[in-house]
Amino acid sequence: MPGALGRPSLARRLVLLAFGWSLAALVISAVVLALLFRQAAERRVDQTLSELIDNLLSNSTVEAGEVFAPALTDERALRAYSGRYWTIAAPTPEGRVRPLVRSYSLFDSELPTPADLVSRLKANPAEPIAYDTRGPLEEPIRARARYAVLQGVPVIFLAAEDRTSIDRSVLNFAAWTAGAFALLGAGLVAAIIIQVRVGLRPVFELQHEVAAVRRGKAERLQGAYPSELVPLADELNALLAHNQEVVERQRTHVGNLAHALKTPISVMLTEAGQRPGPLAEVVSRQAETMRQQVDHHLRRARAAARTQGQGERTPVAEVLDELSRTLERIFREKGVAIDWDAPDELMFLGERQDLLEIAGNAMENACKWGRSRVRVRAAATGAERFRLTVEDDGPGLPPERRAEVVRRGARLDENAPGSGLGLSIIDELGRAYGGTLKLGDSPMGGLRVEIDLPQAEA
């Protein structure tokens, strides 16, 4: 699921949200089921204890004010500390419980009772009371008490049973339920992830199409999208068309201005050439500078327009080979040797003319100022960028002068031929392609020029 660093993607957010409420629903369901199971188990025990109390109540007798218990055949109540107990007791004036008859299973012990048991039973005689307490062996027991009057004698019937098996059953049920719900949760998470991936696939396809437009592989979005994404795709296409229209309009304005200036500049150069003199030399020199500036800005406007349109793929190795051969012939008398290297599969995402101008200006500058050796390297720095490095063995350039020579028209030597636009052209064309120009010291002793440029996919 793609996403920016430190920023959750939409797919991850949807998965986390769905996982959160699913987990909450499963946990609540598991707790509710465990509680319901426990209540059902306690109701079954309470029912058993109620039946035991009913038998005691229906078969107990009173003779001369003394209560006699029936002869019950419950074997568990006949074994000491068996886990099933009963007691027939009488309430005391102080609100306590005084045992009258108890089961053999209690042996020499008594069933614990709450301090307010008598008052609660008398307040609602028809409603039995169930409570949890500890048995003779400190085992957890479930007890039930009922109030009755036998032949004018108030009596409290108590019955209890070891609830260890209940608690064990509840724990086992909770464990199995947790395991089953964990498997169900894992299945739900997997289903949610699949659903989100399938549901967001058109969004990912839209992202890929936008990336293709940005890389120059396509001019507009053409995919078949769901109705919810069609308005977004249409708006993006409209934005692309608008941007292209703006770029073309600006390019036309710059071109018209450049062409409008070329005619008067040509007239000025012609007139100055026909009238020799100091003034004519100044006019010729400045008019020539104006023409070069116009050509430079026209080229830059065209490059900016091309970067907004459909990209082209230019083999870097072919351009460097062509430039090396040409420059070695031009600087043959100086004996300059150009050592270049670039992978055959490395492609510049732009027009060949622009790469020729960028690399050509850098290499020509190195040949001009270098003594005899120029080294050129081009290598990818990532999936979408590559770096062109040009070095020479010349005198180099002091750090304090590097920012100066990048300015338009700045020159290291005013007596040297040229307009001083070489490094400026490299910088501005590189910026038009989203790149940067960096000047540094070369291990060869001269200047090191690094240009960052876009790379087309192989």
pLDDT digits (tens, 9 = 90+) for 412-426: 444 344 434 567 778
**Could you tell me if 117 and 97 are in contact, meaning their C-beta atoms sit under 8 angstroms apart?**
yes
- The predicted model gives 290-318 an average pLDDT of 70
Q: Is the pLDDT of residue 275 over 90?
A: no
Which pLDDT score, from 0 to 100, does residue 380 have? 92
Give the CA distances from residue 73 to residues 86, 141, 438, in Å, rounded to whole numbers and listed in that order. 13, 21, 103
Give the DSSP letter of residue 291. Answer: H
Q: Is the pLDDT of residue 141 over 70?
A: yes
Q: Shortest CA distance to 220 belongs to which of 200, 206, 202? A: 206
CA dist., res. 360 & res. 390, Å (int): 10
Which pLDDT score, from 0 to 100, does residue 362 have? 92
pLDDT in tens, 30-43: 888 888 888 888 88
- The predicted model gives 93-101 an average pLDDT of 85
- Residue 10, Cβ neighbours under 10 Å: how many? 13
**How distant is the alpha carbon of residue 300 from its chain centre?**
39
Q: Is the pLDDT of residue 214 over 80?
A: no
pLDDT in tens, 233-260: 888 888 888 877 776 777 777 777 777 7
Give the DSSP letter of residue 340. Answer: E
Which pLDDT score, from 0 to 100, does residue 431 have? 83
Which pLDDT score, from 0 to 100, does residue 1 have? 42
- Residue 203, Cβ neighbours under 10 Å: how many? 18
Tokens 């300015």 belong to residue? 407
Phi-psi region of 83 (alpha: psi -120 to 50; beta: other; left: phi over 0): left
Tokens 């996919």 belong to residue? 457
Sign of the alpha-carbon torsion through 46, 48, 54, 59: negative
Mean pLDDT lowest among 358-362, 407-411, 449-453: 407-411
Sign of the alpha-carbon torsion through 197, 199, 200, 203: positive
DSSP SS3 for 306: helix
Q: Shortest CA distance to 86 belongs to which of 60, 113, 106, 114? A: 106
Give the CA distances from residue 173 to residues 39, 185, 186, 355, in Å, rounded to whole numbers and listed in that order. 13, 18, 20, 74
388 vs 425, higher pLDDT: 388
The pLDDT confidence band at residue 198, using thresholds 50, 70 and 90, is: confident
Which pLDDT score, from 0 to 100, does residue 301 have? 65
- The predicted model gives 277-283 an average pLDDT of 79
The pLDDT confidence band at residue 458, using thresholds 50, 70 and 90, is: low
pTM (two decimals): 0.45
Give the DSSP letter of residue 105. Answer: G
Q: Shortest CA distance to 450 belongs to which of 386, 355, 383? A: 386
Which pLDDT score, from 0 to 100, does residue 4 have? 44
439 vs 251, higher pLDDT: 439
Sign of the alpha-carbon torsion through 99, 105, 107, 112: negative
Which pLDDT score, from 0 to 100, does residue 306 have? 58
Q: Shortest CA distance to 429 belongs to which of 337, 312, 302? A: 302
426 vs 452, higher pLDDT: 452
Question: Which pairing describes strands 97-102 and 66-68: parallel, antiparallel, or unpaired?
Answer: unpaired
CA dist., res. 296 & res. 228, Å (int): 47
